[in-house]
């Protein structure tokens, strides 16, 4: 049983981390487009700018995958 919980938590962490990077990249693209329309300087998109959001989403997904809030 503990091995299943660990596997589900790792899968949740990786999937949440990838989602975090993707969502951060998408929002920065939209923000940079708005900056171009308003005449401001766009923000540089780097891989390190997505780490905090990816960690937050990864940890929250790992917790929810290990201990689902709703049962069957």
Run means of pLDDT, 10 residues per run, the chain, 72 residues: 88 94 94 95 88 94 88 62
* pLDDT recorded at residue 61: 94
* pLDDT recorded at residue 49: 86
User: Treating both helix axes as pointing N-terminal to C-terminal, what angle do 2-38 and 51-66 enclose, rounded to 10 degrees?
Assistant: 150
* pLDDT recorded at residue 28: 93
- Cα separation, 15 vs 20, in Å, equals 9
* pLDDT recorded at residue 1: 64
Ranges of each domain in the chain: 2-66
- Cα separation, 54 vs 17, in Å, equals 4
């Amino acid at each position: 049983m503990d091995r299943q919980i660990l596997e589900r938590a790792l899968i949740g962490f990786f999937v949440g981390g990838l989602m975090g990077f993707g969502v951060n990249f998408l929002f920065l693209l939209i923000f940079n487009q708005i900056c171009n329309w308003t005449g401001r300087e766009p923000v540089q998109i780097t891989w390190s700018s997505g780490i905090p959001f990816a960690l937050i989403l990864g940890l929250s997904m790992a917790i929810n995958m290990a201990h689902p809030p709703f049962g069957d």
